[in-house]
Structure 1
C-alpha cells in the first residue's frame, strides 16, 4: 500500500525497497563482454570493472525482448532483468553460446536485491554495508565486497543504490539498514516514485511490440557508434531515414482530477483516440493523477491537451 510518510521519507532521508521483482542473471567467462556486446543495443565491450550500462535486447525486427541493466564487477557480469523473465532469458542466452568462454546462470533465487533511495542513501548504505559508495558517481557504477555488489541507481529520480546480496545474508542486511535509520517502504510507493520520475518498466510500459525509440530510452540504452547487434538495421533505418521519428511516443500525462486511470484506458484528442495508458498513479507531486502512456507522435509535445475517461489532461513531458 502507498504511504505518504514513506514518500516523504524518500525525498527527505532514505527508504528501503524489496526489489524482488528484479531478477539477476550472472555471466562469467573471459568472453562475456564481447558475447553480450554482439547482442545488445549498448556498448558493453568497453565496460571496465565497476562500470555498467543500460541496454535492450531486440528481435531482428527491432522489437524488445527485454531491457536490462548490465553491471561489470571485474569477475562477472550481473544482468538486472524482470524476475519473471530471467529464467527464459538465461536459457535463450545460453543457447547462443558456441565456442565462446561464457557461462550463464539465472541467479535470481541466490541473490536478493534491496533498493535504498533518498538524499541520505549513500550515508545509510555505507553505514549498514560497511562499503564506501561515495565514489559511485554515475548511474550503474558499482562496487563489490564479499557477498555484496552495490550499484548506483537513478530510476526514481533520487540518489539511490541497488544492493545485490546473497539470499542467506539479506535479512541481516535489512536489519542493519533499519538500524541505520532507513524507512521500510512498499512496492506501491516505489511505483509512485517511478512514474513521477518518468522511468518506463518493461512488461508494463514496454513489451514485445515496443521499439526502443518509441519508449524514449534511446539516449540511455542505445550506442549509435558501436558495431552490429541484433535489430540494429531497424534502429538505424528509423534514425537515418526517418530522422528518429516513430509513429508513437511514450509520454507522461497529468490529469485534471478524478480517479486514477487503468492500464489500457484510451487517450483522446477531441473525438479521436490517439493512444493508451500504460502506468498511472495518484501523484503527490502534481496533486492529481499522473500517467505514462503512448500517444501518436503529433500529440506528444508538452502541453498538448488530451482527455482520459472524459477528464481533461495534458502532456507533461516525453519519457526518457
Structure 2
C-alpha cells in the first residue's frame, strides 16, 4: 500500500497512455456542441472541460476531456483503448458536416498531490496544462508532444496511481464506466454536464433524471473492508445482493474498492463482501 502521507505533502507525476481524437474543420465546434454533454462554446483557446459522450438512449459511450485549440480545431482525449468507440459513435452522427476526425495515441503526464498547482504555471511552456478532473485531489495534466515530468515533483508508479484513484473514488473506463452505465449512477455529473446548454445526443435521460433528483436504482460507492475485496465479488446485506465490486486494492490488513450499490442501502452503511463486513460510503465526498 502506498504511503498516503507522502502524496499529501508533495506532488507526484504519472505517465499515462491516452487515446486522442483530433477534430478539425469549420463545422467542428457546432458539431461537438451537439454531441457532448458539456458546453464547449464557453471554452477559450487552450481551455478544456470534462464531458460525457453518450449514446442516443442516454447511456454511456465515453468519458473524455475536450480541449479547444482554435475555433476550428478541438482535441478529445480519453483512456487508452476507447478512442475507436468514440470515433465510431461520433461518425454515426457526422452527416454533411465539415469536420475531420483522426484517432491517435499519445502519452500525457499527470501531476497529482498537494502543491501541484504551485508548479503548474512553470510546467506548460511547451505543452497544454489541463484539469486532471479529480474532485478531491489537487492536480493537472500536461498534454502535447514530448511531455516530460516537470521539476518539483517526484515520480509515481502504476500501483501508487491505482491506489490513489480508488481512494479518491475516480471511476475508470472499462471498470466503473462501461456500456449500460448512465451518468446519474456515477459521481461525474457535476463536472461533465451542462444543464444550461442547448440540445445534445442523449440529453433527454440526463435531464429527466436530474429533474427527479437523480433517483436511480444504484450509485457508485466507496468500499472499505478488513478482508481482501475481489473485483466481481457480490456486496450483500442479510444475504441479499445489493451491489458488485468493480475495483479493489489492498490497504493495510484489508482493502478498499469501488462498486455500484443499490439505493436501498442507506449511506453510510454496512454490508458484507466475501464473508467480511464492509463499510459503504459516498463516492462524491
TM-score of the superposed pair, with normalisation by structure 2: 0.90
Gapped runs of 5+ residues in structure 1?
132-144
Alpha-carbon deviations, 1:244-294, whole Å to 9, x = none? 211111111222x122x122110001111111011112346xx74221111
Give the deviation of 1:66 after TM superposition. 0.9
Equivalence map 1:1-320=2 (5 Å): 3-4=2-3, 7-20=4-17, 22-74=18-70, 76-108=73-105, 111-127=106-122, 129=123, 131=125, 145=126, 148-155=127-134, 157-166=136-145, 169-170=146-147, 173-174=148-149, 177=150, 180-240=151-211, 242-255=212-225, 257-259=226-228, 261-283=229-251, 288-299=254-265, 301-319=266-284
Give the deviation of 1:125 after TM superposition. 4.9
Count of matched residue pairs? 284
Distance 1:283 1:50, change over 3 A: farther
TM-score of the superposed pair, with normalisation by structure 1: 0.80
Give the deviation of 1:18 after TM superposition. 1.1
Alpha-carbon deviations, 1:10-30, whole Å to 9, x = none? 22112110111x222122223
CA contact (8 A) 1:204 1:279 kept: yes
RMSD: 2.3
Alpha-carbon deviations, 1:111-137, whole Å to 9, x = none? 32111122232444555x463xxxxxx
Q: 1:139 corresponds to which residue? A: none
Gapped runs of 5+ residues in structure 2?
none
Q: 2-side partners of 1:55 and 1:152: how far apart?
A: 12
Distance 1:98 1:54, change over 3 A: same
Which structure features the higher share of helix residues? 1
